[in-house]
Amino acid sequence: MSEQAAGAAPLLAAHGIRKSFGDHEVLRGVDLTVRRGRVVAVIGPSGSGKTTLLRSLNGLETPDGGRLDLDGGPALDFSRPVPKATRLALRDRSAMVFQHHNLFPHRTVLQNVTEGPVQVRRVPRRQADERALALLERVGLAEKRDAYPRELSGGQQQRVGIVRALALQPDLLLFDEPTSALDPELVGEVLTVMKELAEEGWTMVVVTHELQFAREVADEVLFMDRGVVVEQGPPRQVFTAPREERTKRFLHRIL
């Protein structure tokens, strides 16, 4: 962790986030602080609430309780109804990369990337095209600008998914298991792009099963189980000297 990152101001702070689906309490009071320029990896068993937490951070899910504070933006208190405009303001600050890339199949790569900026953010078409091409260039996909998603490999599709998120110029990038639907030989190219983004100073929250990636790239690792954060800290601590029995058991099972 750089000195600069250590002193970085929180971009996002979540306090006591709770969420139930029916009578299933999926998040049971989760706290999370994401500092500017930092990478937080969220790990934990399947069903522990990682995706629901991530979706709560950008307003795709509305928590039943708790609070979200966004630097320079809205504070959301979920103990009372949150106005739609406030939720939308939250959504505008972040961009999500999904497990399945969710690209529009009948649109070209370039159209997929520019859709959000042009339609949602009202960026002029030419400017959106230029920016999209520069981003595609960066991930080595500029020559695929007119290809359709089905003509790309899974790894290329997911890299376009990342570019689409970057094109929105968010403050915060959220990744929901971005490599878990990929064939093993395609995982590396996506993780490489994510690592570069981290090195460039993007603020990222990454739900992942790629523990090696979390170890190398994350500034902080958060281990969740059954809707609570069991343990969090720098990767070196969580992976090599976990304090909690549940963390030890999880790591033992998957390492």
Tell whether residue 104 is a contact of ligand ADP (CB under 6 A): no
Tell whether residue 52 is a contact of ligand ADP (CB under 6 A): yes
Tell whether residue 253 is a contact of ligand ADP (CB under 6 A): no
Closer by beta carbon to ligand ADP, 109 or else 213: 213
Choice from 2, 6, 47, 185 touching ligand ADP (CB under 6 A): 47
- The secondary element (H helix, E strand) that includes residue 93 is helix 84-93
Phi-psi region at 46: left, alpha or beta (left = phi > 0; alpha = psi -120 to 50): beta
Tell whether residue 56 is a contact of ligand ADP (CB under 6 A): no
**Cα dist from 217 to 49, 76, 97, 144, 249, whole Å:** 22, 29, 17, 28, 23
Nearest approach, Cβ of residue 20 and ligand ADP (Å): 9
Site string for ligand ADP, 174-213 (x = CB under 6 A): ----------------------------------------
Tell whether residue 124 is a contact of ligand ADP (CB under 6 A): no
Tell whether residue 247 is a contact of ligand ADP (CB under 6 A): no
Nearest approach, Cβ of residue 239 and ligand ADP (Å): 19
243-249: long-range pairs with CB below 8 Å, 24+: 247/223
Angle at 96 between CA 91 and CA 102, to 5 degrees: 120
- The secondary element (H helix, E strand) that includes residue 88 is helix 84-93
Tell whether residue 48 is a contact of ligand ADP (CB under 6 A): yes
Which is it for the CA torsion 152, 157, 159, 162, positive or negative?
positive
Nearest approach, Cβ of residue 132 and ligand ADP (Å): 30
Q: What is the CA radius of gyration of the chain?
A: 18
Nearest approach, Cβ of residue 178 and ligand ADP (Å): 13
| CA gap 29, 72 in Å, rounded | 24
Tell whether residue 14 is a contact of ligand ADP (CB under 6 A): no
Tell whether residue 50 is a contact of ligand ADP (CB under 6 A): yes
**CB within 8 Å of 19: residues ≥ 6 apart:** 25, 26, 27, 49, 52, 56, 61, 63, 64
Segment near ligand ADP (CB under 6 A), from 45-53, 119-127, 131-139, 231-239?
45-53
| CA gap 182, 48 in Å, rounded | 22
Tell whether residue 51 is a contact of ligand ADP (CB under 6 A): yes
The number of residues in the chain equals 255
Choice from 21, 75, 151, 241 touching ligand ADP (CB under 6 A): 21
Tell whether residue 26 is a contact of ligand ADP (CB under 6 A): yes
**Interface residue list for ligand ADP (CB under 6 A):** 21, 26, 44, 46-52
